[in-house]
Chains A and B, each alone.
Chain A
Amino acid sequence: MSDTMPIEDYLARGGVLSSPANVPPRYRGELLRLMASFVDSELAGSAGFADTINDAPGIQERISAARIVLEKADHAGQVLSVMETFGADGGRYAVHHPWAERLAREADIGAARQGGDMRLSVFHYPLQGWVDAVVMNVLMGRASVVQLKELSRVSYQPLAEVFRAVLPRETRHAELGLAGLVRVVEDEDGRANARASVAYWYPRVAASFGHSGSARFETLSRFGLRHTPNETLLAEWRAEVDAQLSALGLN
């Protein structure tokens, strides 16, 4: 059974890699970029949400917000440990960007990364109070679930396993958000504020799915690092959140 095949063919046919030693160079670069994007987004998401804890209107909401802050940092740590097996300096990495920093509310950066900070563009925008944070968490929470389901199939097994373990907790975060939003829309003021936040966040979260017909997607899918095109994931997300928003009279 010594027959082998080129690693590129193996990956193109759905093969799985299991350690840094069997990862080819270009795959390595794309894999690390993908991991960095997740780590930066989780750290920025966690950091941005931290202030929200003090805006929470009740004990239960405070606990939910604190739990989201805690667990997103933990998820970042889990993926950073996989990056460390490729030589990344985890200690330095965790502090190399000011994760809580945000652009102006009205800045318009589309889907663009900012410098060496690989967080999804949506995490560069600031939250404005409790209702705004809840709406952002509902919309981005659902997006994270859609994106994590896709990432749970990545061809690098140690990473796929982390994503599979993280998925139920991220799903819970989105559910906590939705429960919070149900309480927000109980009164008319809350509903009006939530509507304004939906109008602000919806296009920005949608942009985080990336461009349709992306050239990078082609490269990533050859490596088994992506499977479903950006536009399909975006459509899936739209269908899910549109239904949730219309049930609450928010769209």
Chain B
Amino acid sequence: MARFHPLTVTDIRRETRDAVVVTLRPSDEDRAVFDFTQGQYLTFRRRFEDEELRRSYSICAGKDEGVLKVGIKRVDGGCFSTWVNENLKVGDTLEAMPPMGAFFTALEPDVGKHYLGFAGGSGITPVLSIVKTVLSREPRSRFTLVYANRQISSIMFREELEDLKNLYLGRLSVLHVLESEAQDIDLFTGRVDAEKCAALFKGWIDIASVATAFICGPEPMMLAIAAALREHGLRDEQIKFELFASSQPGRARRKVEQANGADHGAACEATVTLDGATRVFKFPKQGQSLLDAALENAMDAPYACKAGVCSTCRAKVLEGEVEMETNHALEDYEVRQGYVLTCQCYPLTDRIVVSYDQ
């Protein structure tokens, strides 16, 4: 199971009104662990009161910068991103798992390729890492970036992108599309949707020459761009996606606290929700797992190994208490939030409420 390692904050730079770029340094022995590939992300953990939160942020540094940097934009109601933007200081320690993710293609120094990137807002972070890395490691490749933002003041890395254009003359072109700010050319105002893509592919981007397209942004933008790319001849394997974390909840919900009173019954009444449908059934407290009881009651609950190692049968206990016989798949923080492996689960209370949907 992946382990967390300490990273020291060596710099915090305010990038826009609501986004910071944090530079991090691993300890000497962890240096190899954090040797990332362009486009990967780091998963951080931190305790807020009694609750552990985990959040993933893309690395925005290139492979040749020799540092680890992440860009973190404050999300409304987002506990972790607000804390980073308002409270994090140089010298603090953050805990992170080794870099993960597959938002990249293999580097081929001898080949000249044309990459196309689409970034929406803070979706620029992994794309920037890719831009910097391929321009430095593939001297014959070029990159076209379509970068969507609401307005000029919210553009992250605007200056850095200008510097890169000058450093790699003629190999990086950046098309800024601003949703609510008029520009000289109408094409660069509004949203990046199917129509906008079609217009860009007509006069501004030679889509036939594109080897790989990278898209990172919110869901509707990803859908529109992917559809447009396919319509213009790109195959699925040429399109790389990184869905940014818009769907991450701001706050982990607390486990609902316990049933009371005496729990001496031999059977347990289980209320189980799956795909929005709730079923109530009784099953013995011993001898049958919660998963088997649900299956026996005609619920199509997910499972695979039935041995507590794969985590397919994970569900959340909302009321009551259960005991897991073995657990090789859930981490402590998940267990604290009420998650259980239902194939290993036996009830302790006379009543439990469980959901596979949360």
Contacts and interface: CB of A to CB of B under 8 A. Distances in A.
B236 A153 contact: yes
Contacts of A164: 236-237
Interface string A1-20: 11111010110011111110
Interface stretch (B81-89, B221-229, B279-287): B221-229
Contact of B218 (A3, A26, A153): A3
B70 interface: no
Contacts of A22: 243, 245, 247-248
Given A116-B343, A157-B241, A216-B300, A33 B312 contact: yes
Interface string A137-156: 00000000000000011000
Contacts of A193: none
Given A22-B245, A33-B312, A116 B356 contact: no
Interface string B148-160: 1110000000000
A83 B305 CA distance: 12
B219 interface: yes
B102 A89 contact: no
Interface in B18-67: 41, 43, 54-56
B342 to A, nearest CB: 10
A85 interface: yes
Contacts of B150: 1-2
Interface in B306-321: 306-307, 309-314, 316
Nearest to B227: A14
Given A26-B356, A93-B310, A96-B307, A10 B56 contact: no
B358 interface: yes
B303 A33 contact: yes
Nearest to B121: A1
Interface string A71-100: 000000000000101111100110011000
Nearest to A162: B102
Interface residues of A, number: 51
Given A29-B314, A33-B312, A15 B219 contact: yes
A19 B223 contact: no
A13 B192 CA distance: 17
A89 B223 contact: no
Contacts of B247: 4, 7, 22, 24
A16 B148 contact: no
A228 to B, nearest CB: 15
Contacts of B187: none
B330 interface: yes
Given A25-B356, A88-B329, A19 B300 contact: no
A182 to B, nearest CB: 32
Contacts of B301: 29
Contacts of B236: 152-153, 160, 164
B188 interface: no
A5 B220 contact: yes
Interface string B67-104: 00000000000000000000000000000000011110
A1 B217 contact: yes
B120 interface: yes
Contacts of B245: 21-22
A21 B248 contact: yes
Identify the interface centre among A16, A158, A219: most chain B CB within 10 Å of its CB. A16
Contacts of B306: 115-116
A28 interface: yes
Interface string A29-46: 110110011001000000
A161 B218 CA distance: 21
Nearest to B326: A92
Contacts of A17: 243
Identify the interface centre among B274, B303, B309, B328: most chain A CB within 10 Å of its CB. B309
A59 interface: no
B322 to A, nearest CB: 17
B75 to A, nearest CB: 9
B15 interface: no
B275 interface: yes
B242 interface: yes
A25 B223 contact: no
A16 B328 contact: no
Contact of B241 (A3, A18, A93, A216): A18
B329 A87 contact: yes
Given A37-B304, A116-B343, A19 B41 contact: yes
A173 to B, nearest CB: 21
Contacts of B248: 21-22
Identify the interface centre among B179, B217, B307: most chain A CB within 10 Å of its CB. B307
B111 interface: no
Given A1-B120, A1-B150, A219-B275, A36 B305 contact: yes
B300 A215 contact: yes
Contact of A116 (B56, B100, B149, B304): B304
3 shortest interchain CB distances as A-B pairs: A116-B306, A29-B302, A36-B304
13 contacts: A1-B120, A1-B192, A2-B121, A14-B223, A19-B242, A21-B248, A22-B247, A28-B314, A32-B304, A87-B330, A87-B331, A118-B304, A152-B236
Interface of B: 1, 41, 43, 54-56, 100-103, 120-121, 123, 148-150, 179, 191-192, 217-223, 226-227, 236-237, 240-243, 245-248, 274-275, 300-307, 309-314, 316, 328-331, 334, 343, 356-358
